[in-house]
């Protein structure tokens, strides 16, 4: 296992920048926020540890790229920033999400509320669900897993046409596996920064997906005909578990982060780290590191403590706005809950 540790001075430079106007922007943080951000850069801090590489198949060894500091983020002419006319994140479900509309409504509402807490200060809305047939996208059977897959690029084109005028972005979510091109085995998701669209699949977050007994596998002999979307009617969807909800929340917020212009993080443990496989994705924490937090805060304008409180409230509140009497499966979020409490305790201690 390789541990990536940056000198504190380099982390401070990545956070604060070396440009005068960006340093002046940083000085607008409250004393408590600056103390929190800078204190979390100290090596060995339990809140934000160093990134670990477990194998050559992990993201960083297989996708070498320069780390993105705050200056690189802020100077990117293609990054997207919400404004008063475009401050809504729209979520579009594609295909079935569970056995019955009630389950789908419940699960997607939890995702919506989590996303709204994560991107505190923006509005997140659900669009009416659509069938796979309505997207008119290409599909195939994966030659390795024998699962149905949808073409991610064509779904992006479909979503671009549906993007509301007041949208900061529109993201499609599906329980059906995705592929970006014929030569690729699969892709967890795909997004376009310049177009403000993204599409993500949660199919591989089911613990049974890689088992030969997975209920979504088709027989090798299945013959596909273009436009035969009947295959997707009643197509298998995994049970909604706490682990699936956690993985879905993590993926959704990670991919929307790219639409803001935040690249894969290489500074500290962060939800914006890249991942090539499920095991690496599970190693990522739920939230952003201090450097990526500043990137989001500069784009949205939230108070750090308010954002942490909103995320904590999401974990501790049963049900959701439209389904208040249902039990939200947050067992897998308890480590994140304790982490948020530590962050808030540090911020509050700095105030007194």
Q: Is 39 helix (H, G, I), strand (E, B) or coil?
A: helix
Strands 189-192 and 197-201, sheet pairing: antiparallel
Phi first, then psi: give them for residue 171, nearest 5 degrees: -125, 135
Active site residue 154: no
For residues 255, 260, 261, 265, the Cα torsion angle rounded to the nearest 10 degrees is -50
| Buried-state track 49-83, b at ≥16 Cβ within 10 A, e below 16 | eebeeeeeebbbeeeeeebbbbeebbeeeebbebe
Dist. CA 265–CA 263, nearest whole Å:
6
Q: Is 148 helix (H, G, I), strand (E, B) or coil?
A: strand
Which of 32, 109, 113, 255 is an active site residue?
Answer: 255
For residue 273, how far is the Cα from the chain centroid? 10
Which active-site residues does the annotation give?
Answer: 255
């Amino acid at each position: 296992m390789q541990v990536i540790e940056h000198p504190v001075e380099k982390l401070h430079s990545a956070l604060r920048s070396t440009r005068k106007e960006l340093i002046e922007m940083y000085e607008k943080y409250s004393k408590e926020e600056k103390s929190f951000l800078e204190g979390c850069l100290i090596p060995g801090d339990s809140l934000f540890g160093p990134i670990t590489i477990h194998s050559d198949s992990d993201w960083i060894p297989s996708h070498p790229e320069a780390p993105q500091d705050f200056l690189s983020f802020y100077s990117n002419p293609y990054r997207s920033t919400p404004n008063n006319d475009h401050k809504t994140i729209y979520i579009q479900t594609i295909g079935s999400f569970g056995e019955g509309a009630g389950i789908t409504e419940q699960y997607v509402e939890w995702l919506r509320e989590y996303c709204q807490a994560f991107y505190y200060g923006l509005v997140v809305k659900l669009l009416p669900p659509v069938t796979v047939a309505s997207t008119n996208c290409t599909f195939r059977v994966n030659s390795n897993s024998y699962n149905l897959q949808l073409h991610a690029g064509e779904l992006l084109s479909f979503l671009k046409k549906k993007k509301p005028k007041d949208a900061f972005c529109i993201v499609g979510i599906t329980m059906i596996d995705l592929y970006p091109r014929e030569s690729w085995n699969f892709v967890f998701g795909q997004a376009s920064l310049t177009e403000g669209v993204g599409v993500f699949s949660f199919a591989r977050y089911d613990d049974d997906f890689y088992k030969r007994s997975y209920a979504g596998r088709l027989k090798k002999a299945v013959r596909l005909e273009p436009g035969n979307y009947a295959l997707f009617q009643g197509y298998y969807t995994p049970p909604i578990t706490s682990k699936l909800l956690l993985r879905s929340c993590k993926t959704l917020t990670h991919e929307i982060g790219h639409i803001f212009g935040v690249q894969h993080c290489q500074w500290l443990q962060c939800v914006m780290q890249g991942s090539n496989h499920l095991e690496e994705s599970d190693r990522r924490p739920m939230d952003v590191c201090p450097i990526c937090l500043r990137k989001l805060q500069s784009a949205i304008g939230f108070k750090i403590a308010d954002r942490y409180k909103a995320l904590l409230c999401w974990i501790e509140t049963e049900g959701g706005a439209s389904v208040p009497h249902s039990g939200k499966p947050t067992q897998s979020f308890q480590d994140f809950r304790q982490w948020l409490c530590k962050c808030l305790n540090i911020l509050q201690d700095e105030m007194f």
